[in-house]
Structure 1
């Protein structure tokens, strides 16, 4: 997980690129996935650059931003289900709700520092290769800034409420895959409740940790 955490900030930043802002235009259910992403990039960059508190890593403010501006445009339940793999069906509805909530909080707190790193980056968009009736697509982008270009892809699904982001890929590593083994190991050792407790404990640790830029 340490190696993934090193690039995880870019992944989380990518999620923020997608939905972490007040939209110049409000996307509706008919907004194509690539247009949705493209629509908000400029706005989110401007929003972050204009907020000194976020740049300094103000966790409460970042969490508030994520809850209001990001969570509504993601499908964290599906993200959690994919990270759980076959073990998802072994969890009760109550446990599934707990796991989804705790995993969401883990991602927010683990990668919240990514916001403070958004400075001079720009995003290059690749042409979307998808059929009009596709229900799942991958939108490919490249983040340009200091250092080498960073490929950053988004996996989205079409829902009754429009397109939702449920997974991200950076340099060949999908977010849910990075957590799947860890979740599986926890469950094999301590069961579903053990994974719930592990996530709860980890979130408590991160809530009291000092932000690092």
Structure 2
């Protein structure tokens, strides 16, 4: 069940950024909850208006994710947190390879799942904290034909770039911590290069299936 929730959650995490068509200045001025609400709402409209996206076209979804989603995530922070203490011991080349393989893993694993968002409704809870806070927690509720999904987004405000998403909690399960657990097992037995090799093999397998 947790695997299903994580799959849905990352889909929604990506969704929060996928429809970002406005200028960066807008994202910088928006409240964090408005940022999430606007992007989820715009994504729904984008999917409804595109037959290929509604049908789950993997190539088109992947291109959309790569072009519009990744720039709105703090992906280096997400990768470093997922790798854990071994990240600091990794060379710059190893860090880049892990990040590239991790990115490809997420693209292949979740791009096609975005189409299911077209019929869901979104509500957000008030954000606690001050207007000058640089890191905030945004809580959302996604309702569809099935079970209601409770989501927590962790956002940080980056100077000159606006809000960035760096972690997500769905039904009590944090995305980054879940990957950290998986990665730790690989690193403990095979080292950082072993993790890179494992991710590369998984990506090759996913590409063949796609």
TM over 0.5: yes
Paired position in structure 1 for 2:209:
209
Residue of structure 2 equivalent to 1:96: 95
- What is aligned with 1:48? 47
Cα drift, residue 17 of structure 1 = 3.0
Number of residue equivalences: 208
TM-score by length of 1: 0.91
RMSD, matched Cα: 1.6
Deviations 1:43-79 (A, max 9, x none): 1101112222222222111111011111111011100
1:69 match: 68
The question of whether the paired residues in 2 share the 8 Å contact of 1:4 and 1:178 is answered with no
**Residue 172 of structure 2 is aligned to residue 163 of structure 1:** no
Kindly indicate whether the alpha-carbon contact (under 8 Å) linking 2:48 and 2:54 is maintained by their aligned counterparts in 1: yes
Residue 102 of structure 1, CA deviation:
1.1
Which SS does the other structure have where 2:118 is aligned? coil
Unaligned runs of 5+ in 2: none
Gaps of 5+ in 1: none
Corresponding position of 2:177: 177
- For residues 126-137 of structure 1, the aligned pairs below 5 Å read 126-137=125-136
Q: Residues of 2 paired with 1:145 and 1:5: CA distance? A: 19
| Separation of aligned partners in 2, 1:5 and 1:207 | 20
Return closer, same or farther for 1:111/1:171 CA change in 2, 3 Å cut-off.
same
TM-score, structure 2 as length reference? 0.92
The residue correspondences of 1:27-42 to structure 2 (distance < 5 A) are 27-42=26-41
Q: Which has the higher helix share?
A: 2
The Cα of 1:25 is off from its aligned counterpart by 6.6
